[in-house]
Each structure stands twice: as structure tokens, then as C-alpha cells.
Structure 1
Amino acid sequence: MPGTPLFESAWDALLAVCPLILSQRNATAGNAAAANFDVRWRMSKECCAWLYYVPDDRYALSKLVESSDATRSQFEQGCRAPAFVEDSRYPPNSLKYLYFLHDHPATPTHLSERDLAALAKMVRIHGGYVETKAGRLPIGIVAFFSEGTSGNSAGCDGFYEYTYGSTEVVRWTPDAEGHWRRTRAGSVTWDSETEFRFVPTR
């Protein structure tokens, strides 16, 4: 996969990928209360990708995939990236899957129970943790969003993040000076490897 971006840290990757995904055509539908939202929502698509760790101690982004899941409910879609990435630069069994990345076209937005169920499935396939130069990191899921009201993304306004084993969902947003701030966005309680209770913060 020549040309696939490589990053020195997972954080650098997340900040670079957020505007990249949100700039894709129809990746944002705007605020649900804005005029003509229904039209933009019907045209919108989620984009998704894997962020994975490679043998030379860097983080790589897979190719972007558009929504392939036709089922959608109010403000919720689906995007199914392949469970495994093909990267000819490295042996297949040397890749370590760290984050499943996707956008949420509608705002306001949040991670959903569907997102957390998808993470549980990924954990069963890839395991719950990745050994990296930064230490042992849990596999996670991220949803990027734009606060634009009309569906025209002006960039990355933030993202929701949940990592395996954590009791909370967090929301990352930049302040007026461009510093990223972390706030609690919900709680997660796991009753088993597949059953959980998710209570979003209102």
C-alpha cells in the first residue's frame, strides 16, 4: 500500500485523519435542526478506516472506505471496513490494529451502542491491546464530527473516543487557542465480553 500515511504517534494520526475524513464528499450533513437537513442526511455517507501499528514503530492509516451498510436510523449510519488491512510493506501478521476510525455526518452526534458493539467484535478478532513504543495501548473506536450547520465542513471540530476496558467515553474538542480538551461524555459498564450498558452524558 505505497503512499499510505505514516505517523510518529497515535495522537498525531488522529488530528491529521479527522479533517481528512470530514472533507470527503457527503461526509457531513450538518445540524439536524438546520434547513434541508433531511436531504443532506439521505445523501450523506460515513467514511471509515483503520489506524494500525507497524513494525518500524509508527502508525499507519488504511485506505478510506465509504458506507457499505444500507441500514440507517435517525442520525445513525454504518460503515464496514475490512477486518484486516493489506499493506505490502509489512508481513500481514505484523500489523497491530489500534483504532477503528469513522465520521458521524449529523450533528449533534455521539458514539452509539452500535459503535461499542462493533468494538467488541473487533476485540474478539484482534485482541484488546496493542504493544507499541508508547506502551501497551487498548484498541479503540473514534467518531469524528463537524459542527457546521449546513453540511459544509470547515475542518475538525472534535471527536468521541472509547477504548477497550475503559469505564467512560470521552469527547475531545479544541478550545479557542487550539488546545485539545478532554471531557467525559458517557459511562460504559461491561457485563460480559459482548454485553454492556452505555449511558451517554446529556
Structure 2
Amino acid sequence: MSAAKRLTTCLLGLLLLGMGCAPARPIEGVWRPGFGEEPDRIPGPMRNFGPFDSYADALLAACPLLLSKPNATVGHLQDLNPELARRTATEYCAWLYYTPEHRYEMSMLTDVSKPDDLVTGKKTCVLPKFVNDSRYAPGDLKYIFALHNHPFGKQLSLVDLHFIEAMASQHDWKTETLKGDVYLSIIAFFSQSRDGEAPTCDGFHQYVPATREIMTWVQTPAGWKKADDGLLRWLDDRRYIIERIQRR
């Protein structure tokens, strides 16, 4: 985006939302592309995270990490001040990927949003297509989960579904690991807590393009437990239904 367009967008946001145009303050573990950096390649791995032998353990660690970031969950504000909750809610996203060492790593987080989010009020994290992990050749990394948080705890959005289907054209739909096949999917962590300082990790929503499975998982003392599932069937580009799976 040109400097003129950035200024116009910022001034328009100032008029419509009463928000300032000062640069966003740095947040530990959060990457924003600087001058000369490729916006399509997010750095990895995240410092002090993993590596993990299983993706389940990686998700258990990733969930509280994402939800601990500023305004990653706004349930505590939703009832008191819905407008403030809407304006401050922030999505963070990252890739969970599989390395040649057969371990799971996570990229840094990013909170970069679409340019029109300032005007529309939507909060959509823009996850780069690739991870730049200098330890490996680009083709050696296997992309497993596109991770992000949902500040309001809602189900996966249409944007989420379209994004991971687009990523399925960039990356393998299925990765062979030492513990079996893992399918590319998108995951949205959520918290039902009203504690803004220490929100709990209560679960995540997941969609798997290869199988059309859409699921909700909750955290229990024994680990992740599937709470709801179904098969997503597209009616057109903007409409879909979820067909519930009959269990015996």
C-alpha cells in the first residue's frame, strides 16, 4: 500500500472509530514485516516454544500463548462495553509446522490485519503463506495447522474457511509423520473466561479441507476432547451447511 493510501486509511479510521494512527507498540513474540522483509514469509521458530513430539502437546502450549496476548480475548468487555470490545479485539495467527527432525514447531505470531479492517471494524489476522526457518530449506517444512485466536469465542468464519482452502493449494493436504498422517487444517482457539488478565484456554474450532470435517474441541484434564463435529457442505462461495455425523 502506498504512503498516501496508508495515510488516507488511517485518517478515515480516525474519523470513523476515534482511533489514533500511532504505530502499534511491539509485543513479545509478535512479528510485523519491516522494511525489506518478505510479507509472505513469517519467521520461525517461536522462541521458548517447543519443539514438540506431538501436535496435541503443541496445541496445548500454543493455546494459552496466543490467548495471553493483549486483547486476544474480550469476553470480559463484551457485556460491559460492546463497542470497546469490538474496537480492541485482536487476532493473532501463526503456523504450526513439521520439521525434518519429526518435531512440531510454531512460527512467530503476527497481528497484521487487512487494510480495510480499520473501516469495516472486522478483526482478521493475515497469516503469511510460508515460514522462514533458516535452519531448513523452504521445501523441507510441512505445514500442519494455521493457528489463530477468536477474541469473542465464535465459530470459524467464512474468511477462515476460504483461507485454509486457499492454503490447501499451496501446501500438502496431508503430511506423513512418525505417528501417522496429519491433515492441513485451520484452528481458532477460544476462551470462555471473563478474566481479562488471565484467560483460560477452553478449546478450539477446527476445519479440515481434505475431509470437510468441522469440529469443536474442549480442554479436559485428560487432554483434548471432541465436543461437536460435522461435515461442511458448500452451497456456493458464501453459503454452507454443516451436516451432523450420526454416531452409533
TM range (shorter): 0.7 to 0.9
Q: Is the 8 A contact 1:28 1:153 kept in 2?
A: no
Q: Classify 1:126/1:117 alpha carbon distance in 2 versus 1 (closer, same or farther; 3 Å).
A: same
Partner of 1:110: 155
Separation in 2, partners of 1:124, 1:7: 26
Separation in 2, partners of 1:148, 1:174: 13
Going by fraction, where is strand more abundant, 1 or 2? Answer: 1
Partner of 2:228: 184
What TM-score results when the alignment is normalised by the length of structure 1? 0.85
Partner of 2:61: 16
Tell me, which stretches of 5 or more residues in structure 1 are unaligned?
none
Separation in 2, partners of 1:79, 1:135: 30
Separation in 2, partners of 1:132, 1:166: 18
Q: Is the 8 A contact 1:161 1:170 kept in 2?
A: yes
Tell me, which stretches of 5 or more residues in structure 2 are unaligned?
1-43
| CA RMSD across the alignment | 2.8
The percent identity for this pair of structures is 37
Separation in 1, partners of 2:146, 2:102: 19
Going by fraction, where is helix more abundant, 1 or 2? Answer: 2
Indicate the structure (1 or 2) with the bigger Cα radius of gyration: 2
Separation in 2, partners of 1:119, 1:171: 17
Q: Is the 8 A contact 2:94 2:147 kept in 1?
A: yes
Partner of 1:89: 135
Separation in 2, partners of 1:140, 1:126: 11
Separation in 2, partners of 1:200, 1:152: 37
Q: Classify 1:76/1:161 alpha carbon distance in 2 versus 1 (closer, same or farther; 3 Å).
A: farther
Deviates more, 1:157-166 or 1:25-34: 25-34
Separation in 1, partners of 2:164, 2:234: 12
Q: Classify 1:170/1:87 alpha carbon distance in 2 versus 1 (closer, same or farther; 3 Å).
A: same
Q: Classify 1:179/1:13 alpha carbon distance in 2 versus 1 (closer, same or farther; 3 Å).
A: closer
Instruction: Give, in angstroms, the shift of residue 190 of structure 1.
Output: 5.1
| CA displacement 1:60-101 (0-9 Å, x = unmatched) | 100010142242899953111211101111111100001000
Partner of 1:157: 202
AA at the equivalent of 2:133? D
Partner of 2:240: 197
Partner of 1:123: 168
Q: Classify 1:73/1:136 alpha carbon distance in 2 versus 1 (closer, same or farther; 3 Å).
A: farther
Relative contact order, higher structure (CA 8 A, sep 6+): 1
Partner of 1:34: 79
Instruction: Give, in angstroms, the shift of residue 40 of structure 1.
Output: 2.2
AA at the equivalent of 1:143? A
Q: Is the 8 A contact 1:68 1:80 kept in 2?
A: yes
Deviates more, 1:91-100 or 1:26-35: 26-35
Separation in 2, partners of 1:180, 1:98: 17
Alignment length, in residue pairs?
Answer: 198
Q: Is the 8 A contact 2:89 2:123 kept in 1?
A: no
Q: Is the 8 A contact 1:52 1:59 kept in 2?
A: yes
Q: Is the 8 A contact 2:87 2:121 kept in 1?
A: no
